[in-house]
Structure 1
Amino acid sequence: MDSTDWIKVKPEVIKTDGVLTYRLQSTAGGFECSVSALRWVCDNNVSFQYQFGSWDRHMERLAAYRPAGPLLDIKVISGKLREVYLPHWICLDHSPDVSESFAVLHVHSDGVSVERGSEVTQCHIKLFETDFSPRGVLMKIGIKVKMRCNVLIYKTNNKHVKLHVYLIPRDAAVLQAMEQMEKDDGYRRIKKPNPNKCFQMQDYFILTTDMATAEIIPRVTPVSPVSVPRIGMRRLTDLDRACATWQLQAGVPAETVDVFKRRLKTHLFNLAFI
């Protein structure tokens, strides 16, 4: 199916003991979840639900792979899914030869296994089977790839504005984790357009601002699919003056760190995924 042929469906969101469940139902056809980008094809009415899982507990057994999409725990309530496509955030436009490096994690009662998908598309991997347990897309470690990213900006409502800026993979599970963490800390999201370009994994990025009184404070945390690099940018001005522009630039060689610190008063962080 062409990307324009998929009908987007908004899921019903159910929160139980702090855990979000996304419930979907459809008639026959090809559909895409508006939250996770999960796609499915069915011949008759179907109803199912999913939750985002955590990669952390499985990473020790996946030494040769790293996550390349959300881990989804799918459960069919009624009907049957004929085809299922798991989302990934690897940019194939820049790495057309990496299709053989994809795999799918299958979490089952006896442990985990790594399987092949039956088809790799620009944003998805088609599953061979549609019997469900937690599954997610993997990419072999050591393969140089670019990825589609989102930039998230969160702010406080205090007199002295404080921003948290994140560069994350285009992964709904990571976004959900960020939204909850920032909400718990009293921050709200400023919605801005996401980058159109893809970013190289293991590359360096710098955050700059044109406001002389803005202070950029690096805060780098261990990086994983649910623990992303974070830079807090505190603006030492009143709220009505906090309108400076800032840029995120890529491809900075490591040896230029000191130069950028002196000239731009910024700091570098490394975007990497375990």
Structure 2
Amino acid sequence: MAQDDQQARTFLRNAIAKHQDALITTTTALVRIPSPNPPGHTAHVADAAIKLLQSIPHAHVSRHETAPGLVSVVARIPSGRPGKRLVFNGHLDTYPLCEDLHWTVPPTGGVHKDGKIYGRGVCDMKGGIAASITAARMLAEHRDLWRGEIVITLAGDEENMGSLGTKWLLDNVEEAKGDAVICGDVGSARVVRFGEKGFVWIAVEAEGVAAHGAHVHKGVNAVRHLRKALDAVESLEGTVVDGPRDVGEAIDAAAIVSESLSGEVMRGRNVIFACRWVFRRMTS
């Protein structure tokens, strides 16, 4: 069995090399379709992804519009034999184009230069989507090498916290849930991050009393109260989360192909907070 596995791995590596040009072409095509979020209109790039997925043998593709113009895509590829489900997850939207940043190349041009592709979303994460589609195509062409099924979930909403993207798919599309998931987000073939951290929003509000600059002693500076609260919130960053033992061991085992601090990040707790301070008009 070990020898058969090694032969399969060698075969797949050779197949991947043959799909190199297709990977570049797919990435470029996706980058050339703008999908900034906000405003979060992903219908056009979703339709392009659907065409690519529909050309994969045995793929069952569905389109999900979770808000006007905000579209997610799911593709299921069965092996024809019972087994586990592997999900390739990604997001179709990108950070806003920010044309005012004086791009040296068109942000949606998909420019090839110095052996690289330039444009908004190449790394985050249309290149990752292209890799997932390419991998699915290759595996669909060689279903005899694996069992179970492959699912690709392309979320239309991620940059705006993902409530209408991956979360919506998990809540509403059964095949979006799997036994394992690979997300080709920002990174490289040399960096694999294992694990997933959640997030918590903390809203901090401080109230004060406004005063004239010549009579500051009559006022109450809300910012001072706010600073104390923010210091307390920031102290939570070092909180260690006691996760399942097998998960911790797997994170440690993945350290050789991960970033140096990845394990600490996955075990820690990062806090994102929104702050607001309110000044009351001083009354005489």
Normalised by the length of structure 1, the TM-score is 0.25
Larger proportion of strand: 1
> Relative CO higher for 1 or 2, CA cutoff 8 Å, sep ≥ 6?
2
Larger proportion of helix: 2
